[in-house]
Amino acid sequence: MRKLAPVALATLALVACSGTPEPATAPPSTVGPTTSAPAASPSATTSATTAQSPSPATSAASAVPETHELEVTVHDTFDEPWAMAWLPGTDALVITERGGTMKLRDASGVREVSGVPEVVVAGQGGLGDVIPGPTFTTDGTVYLSWVEAGDGGTGAVVGTAKLDVSAAALSDVAVIWEQRPKVDGDGHFAHRLAIQDDHLFVSSGDRQKMDPAQELDSTLGKILRLTLDGQPAADNPFSGEDAPVAQQFYSMGHRNPLGLAFDADGRLWSTEMGPKGGDELNLIQPGANYGWPVASNGSHYGGGEIPDHTDGDGFEPPKVFWTPSISPGSLMIYQGTLFPAWTGDAFIGGLSGEVLIRVDLDGETATEAENWPMGSRIRALSEGPDGAIWVLEDGPGARLLELRPS
Ligand SMILES: [Ca+2]
Ligand SMILES: [Ca+2]
């Protein structure tokens, strides 16, 4: 095990730009048993927080510490993992790999799941998200997303299936939603899933086509709110529009929203990859337009400015944004109490940023509070049953890490 220490935000910028590992970030080969790295002093953490927030009212008055030191345990490795979810009523973690395999990990080890649908593997596409459905403990229903081919190119789909944990078998796969239109290219599928009560939320990326994010006849560049069987929810904000596709929309103007999570009060938050700079954490409001590609705090790759989010431009600005990019690939809102200082806060995994970020959430206010250089691209985050924070690296040989208070 090793310990991870938070660093001041200024240091993150250095790491993100240069890729230079911090001393606390040991390369994989040197992560040995009980290596304790120097922990950040409380004052370093406080200064990072203060730099972002002019009035850190919670720092002195809080009965719990501002932060925690992290002890990192390295578990198994996976091949290009994309998503993971704990399965309620079991001690199993289900993990997807982009190449089309699904794994179950529990105390007895890692098993491959049979019955996974055929997926198109290209670019960013392949097998995507997996989450347990509301009836998982009684009937094993899970929701998953992947990429399929069809007229016009490729697109994401969402399906339901039954997952038998003891047999490590998926059955009764049924497609319930399709990203439309299918287009050429193999980027920005997004296809992240979240369920609140009896509604399924799906993030649908812009497929690198940009303009469709502002159009009512395409599901590209939207966050959708569906029934649990994939139909447009009855009271969606665009239901009155004369465009049947828009009846699925909850919000629009998105680029590549790879994070989707509810806080304990039921607010929906999303992380979105910006272009060159301008990565976003958004509070998702029904009917709102988040600006892409008309407004972005980033700019086009290869040149070309995009007007920043500005008061009065008609678009919902991000609550937090990152320039240069961190490439947020995942979002988790911590509900546990194992880390009592962090209950209710958002955690974001950075791909190009190779970073774990904590954002302090307070109602509708979000403030970046801490970050930990991880020394590798971070693909997925999940909160374990006892409140430990589980982290999946990206790419071949990606490690599954468990973070606990040290
Ligand atoms: Ca935006
Ligand atoms: Ca801009």
Structure tokens at 175: 């497609």
Ligand 2 geometric centre to CA of 304 (Å): 9
Ligand 1 geometric centre to CA of 307 (Å): 11
Ligand 1 geometric centre to CA of 95 (Å): 29
Ligand 1 geometric centre to CA of 217 (Å): 20
Ligand 1 geometric centre to CA of 280 (Å): 7
| Nearest ligand to the CA atom of 317 | 1
Q: What local confidence, expressed as pLDDT, does residue 380 receive? A: 98
In the annotation, is 188 catalytic?
Answer: yes
Beta strand 320-322 with 279-284 is antiparallel
Ligand 2 geometric centre to CA of 103 (Å): 40
| Nearest ligand to the CA atom of 213 | 1
Residue 128 lies in a domain: yes
Q: What local confidence, expressed as pLDDT, does residue 35 receive? A: 28
| Nearest ligand to the CA atom of 252 | 1
Q: What are the backbone angles phi and psi of residue 49, rounded to the nearest 5°?
A: -65, -45
Structure tokens at 405: 């208070």
Q: Which residue has the tokens 């680029």?
A: 255
Angle between helices 42-52 and 9-18 (to 10 degrees): 80
Residue 26 lies in a domain: no
Ligand 2 geometric centre to CA of 283 (Å): 20
Considering the chain, what percentage of its residues have pLDDT values greater than 70?
A: 84
Residue 366 lies in a domain: no
Q: Tell me how far apart the alpha carbons of residues 367 and 344 are, in angstroms, rounded to a whole number.
A: 12
Residue 291 lies in a domain: yes
C-alpha 177, offset from chain centre: 20
Q: What local confidence, expressed as pLDDT, does residue 33 receive? A: 29
Residue 140 lies in a domain: yes
Task: Give yes or no for residue 9 having a pLDDT over 70.
Answer: no
Higher pLDDT, 281 or 45: 281
- Domain total in the chain: 1
Q: What local confidence, expressed as pLDDT, does residue 64 receive? A: 67
Q: What local confidence, expressed as pLDDT, does residue 243 receive? A: 77
Q: How confident is the model at residue 241 (pLDDT cuts 50, 70, 90)?
A: low
Higher pLDDT, 10 or 155: 155
Q: Tell me how far apart the alpha carbons of residues 58 and 208 are, in angstroms, rounded to a whole number.
A: 41
**Average pLDDT of 146-162?**
98
Question: What separation in angstroms does the CA of 101 have from each of 193, 300, 374?
Answer: 18, 34, 25
Question: SS in 3 state form for the chain?
Answer: CEEECCECHHHHHHHHHHCCCCCCCCCHHHCCCCECCCCCCHHHHHHHHHHHCCCCCHHHHCCCCCCCCEEEEEEEEECCEEEEEECCCCCCEEEEECCCEEEEEECCEEEECECCCCCCCECCECEEEEEECCCHHHHCEEEEEEEEEECCEEEEEEEEEEEECCCCEEEEEEEEEECCCCECCCCCCEEEEEEECCEEEEEECCCCCCHHHHCCCCCCCEEEEEECCCCECCCCCCCCCCCHHHHHEEEECCCEEEEEEECCCCCEEEEEECCECCEEEEEECCCCECCCCCCCCCECCCCCCCCCCCCCCCCCCCCEEECCCCCEEEEEECCCCCCHHHCCCEEEEECCCCEEEEEEEECCEEEEEEEEECCCCEEEEEECCCCCEEEEECCCCEEEEEEEEC
Q: Tell me how far apart the alpha carbons of residues 174 and 162 are, in angstroms, rounded to a whole number.
A: 10
| Nearest ligand to the CA atom of 274 | 1
Q: With contact defined as beta carbons under 8 Å apart, do 186 and 125 qualify? A: yes
| Nearest ligand to the CA atom of 276 | 2
Q: What local confidence, expressed as pLDDT, does residue 28 receive? A: 34
Structure tokens at 320: 């937090």
Q: What is the pLDDT of residues 338-388, one digit of tens each?
A: 999 999 999 999 999 999 999 999 999 999 999 999 999 999 999 999 999
Ligand 1 geometric centre to CA of 35 (Å): 41
Instruction: Name the least confident of 43-47, 59-63, 234-238, 351-355.
Output: 43-47
Q: What local confidence, expressed as pLDDT, does residue 247 receive? A: 96
Task: Give yes or no for residue 6 having a pLDDT over 90.
Answer: no
**Average pLDDT of 5-33?**
36
Residue 287 lies in a domain: yes
| Nearest ligand to the CA atom of 283 | 1
pLDDT averaged over every residue in the chain: 87
The residues with which 249 forms a beta bridge, in sequence order, are: 224
Ligand 2 geometric centre to CA of 296 (Å): 5
Ligand 2 geometric centre to CA of 86 (Å): 38
Q: How confident is the model at residue 244 (pLDDT cuts 50, 70, 90)?
A: confident
Structure tokens at 70: 């992290």
Q: Tell me how far apart the alpha carbons of residues 369 and 334 are, in angstroms, rounded to a whole number.
A: 14
Question: What separation in angstroms does the CA of 279 have from each of 33, 163, 255, 257, 270?
Answer: 36, 35, 10, 10, 11
| Nearest ligand to the CA atom of 297 | 2
Residue 11 lies in a domain: no
Domain that holds residue 257: 78-327+336-345+380-405
**Average pLDDT of 35-61?**
34
Among 372, 369, 385, smallest CA distance to 335 is for 385
Q: How confident is the model at residue 5 (pLDDT cuts 50, 70, 90)?
A: low
Which member of 188, 191, 254, 309 is catalytic? Answer: 188
Task: Give yes or no for residue 16 having a pLDDT over 80.
Answer: no
Ligand 2 geometric centre to CA of 206 (Å): 18
Residue 253 lies in a domain: yes
Ligand 2 geometric centre to CA of 374 (Å): 28
Q: How confident is the model at residue 143 (pLDDT cuts 50, 70, 90)?
A: very high
Task: Give yes or no for residue 15 having a pLDDT over 90.
Answer: no
Residues sharing a CB contact under 8 Å with residue 244, sequence separation 6 or more, in sequence order: none
Amino acid making up residue 213: A
Residues sharing a CB contact under 8 Å with residue 209, sequence separation 6 or more, in sequence order: 183, 185, 220
Q: How many CB atoms lie within 10 A of CB 28?
A: 12
Question: What separation in angstroms does the CA of 197 have from each of 127, 194, 226, 250, 403?
Answer: 25, 10, 11, 16, 29
Domain at 216, CATH number: 2.120.10.30
